[in-house]
Structure 1
Amino acid sequence: VVGREGAGLRDPGSGGAGRGGGPGKARGATYKALMNGVSFMIPFVVVGGLLIAVSLALGGHTTSEGIVIPEDSVWKSVNDIGVIGFALMVPILSGYIAYAIADRPALVPGMVGGWIAAHGELYDSEAGAGFIGAIATGFLAGYLVLGIKKVRVPKFARAVMPIIVIPIVATSALGLFFIHVLGRPIAWLFEHLTDWLSGLTGTSAALLGIVLGLMIAFDMGGPVNKTAFLFGAGLVSENPEVMGACAAAIPVPPLGQGLATLIRRRLFDDQERETGLAALFMGFFGITEGAIPFAAARPARVIPANMLGGAAAGAVAGLAAVEDSVPHGGPIVALLGAVDGVPMFFAAVLVGTGVTALATVGLMSVRWGVR
């Protein structure tokens, strides 16, 4: 995540990012569009995540259903406000990627497409496509609008094209495409990953912990993450060790990225360092999405680092037979008494966090041809 000037981020009224140039310029324009979305998304991640974390800390109670805030508590209202901020995070990312590519006519298609991507119930999936789906819908919306702009229309219709025709056509086309085409593989993936995990429950605890850790850290709230989490949550009563591995891996991406901003500060700009501090706080409360701004900005570097740390945490927790009796993760559940094997739980979290931080710093220090 970089500042507006340094990333070449667009201000209203400037030219689209998807125009002209050769392959190198096209790659630069693609990255600028991605960073435009990330820069607008960050406040929603930080505000939403911190409100949720504060409400859990001050109003939450450990129950068999996880950390629950009483309905009549003011902290429940604070939590609801934070959830709204998180709900807007994905469409904002998608919308401003599209906006950077094709200006204002692409904003509505991008945001609506991002909302659809985040809500799996619209395409019969138990989990949405998360921030990865938002990146896809953002670019699809942007380039779809660019294509529609090239269509020749009569002079009398030109005035209504950018404010009525293009947004309606692009929003409808993208929404239908995602619901009826892209959404089906996501629903299929969720179903088959769950079946596959069920087949692993009788194997090595370390192997299952590694797999769960990899999945938890991969898309941070997306379908793969949700599959692993719901699988662990469903076994809390009969096999709490599965949730123990998930609980140890859940805080690793935000804690690892936050730690990376502290141990190698020169690799990050001011905005990233501030986001890193918020990520540390969110990680403590088991909010994996705190790492999304880093993963969205540098997916080829950050996602593998997150997965390595998640796998390490899951393996340690699995080997130590750490148990979590509530469907929630992060250090907060151990401090509230929901974890059996607290020392090894914290050891797993620390190992995973260290692996992610060091891997992130290492991968960011290497000059690649990709971000």
Structure 2
Amino acid sequence: MSTYTMGELFSGPGGIAWGAHEAAREVGVDLRHTWANDYDSSTCETYRANIPGATHQSVIHGDVRDLDVKSLQSIEGFAFGFPCNDYSLLGESKGLSGKFGPLYQRGVDVLDHHRPAWFVAENVTGLKSSNGGDDFKHILAELRKAGAGYTIVPHLYHFEQYGVPQRRHRIIIVGIAEGIPAQFKVPAPTHPKPDDWVSVSTALANIPTHLPNQERTRQSKTVIRRLEQIRPGQNAFNATLDDDLRLNVKGATLSQIYRRLHPGKPSYTITGSGGGGTHGYHWDEPRALTNRERARIQTFDDNFVFRGTKESVRKQIGMAVPPAGAKVIFRALFQTLTGTPYDWVPANLTPSGEPVKRRALAEKIIS
């Protein structure tokens, strides 16, 4: 049995780690948590409570900029979902010139010093267009030449095509150290067509009442009235509302604001943002989703317990990588490393960050 020790930066509550451990168990790989770091104390508590092997000492709470990566224990695998704030299409898109944009470099520092056999990095779709695509190309170049060099495979994953009941699109970069005779391939979608996608009503069915994190948000009478006039799939700007319920906000016509879920479709992207009207809203009841419902949409197991206040938990869930999505990618990575064949498709991004022409993606390839 192959054994890998794994470290993680920007770990969040453990979406990547949970998916990685589940994939390792299925493939027959011994994956061992070694260390993780996150800036939020409640998020660290959630990670410690759920990820196998995580302890108070191994999960380091603190600013990654103050972390001495050279003092960390040696690892054979590495994961990092570096901050997306400055690459998000909904933000100011400052890219590498922003406060958070340069933090990918801490991941490069780990690769340079510890030289793990493989890594998995995650970010939002806006990364590939930040500063005309130059930021993405720069980051990919840095990852390729880190350590002793890595062969990288960036790909824009549509997680609804992998059984996640949510239209969540993320760039995942998988790197394998040069010299290792293995070539990662993008795992083929398990739910490729819209008719195959898991609906939100299916995902939220039969939630046991005894589960934690089910506190409901107190909705004002105005919000309740507004939601009652918004049909499933509509938002506050395309619904027909009474005059006193309309939002008089110039330039803020985001489709997520007071948008109700459609029971027959996957959810729209669950986020950790805290603005009014962005918490995700039930299709039938005039209310925001509970954190357990958000966790179901993000594919966290019902036994996954979140620590912290209700608002903290909401942010943890929204900022996490869906464990089911992480599992698909790590399963393909471990199958690659163990020489186990699997169905795959061509990557839709080149190692230099350019999109691949559609013609090259037309044919599904079976290994």
Normalization by structure 1: what TM-score? 0.25
Q: TM-score, normalised by structure 2?
A: 0.25
Q: Pick the structure with more strand per residue.
A: 2
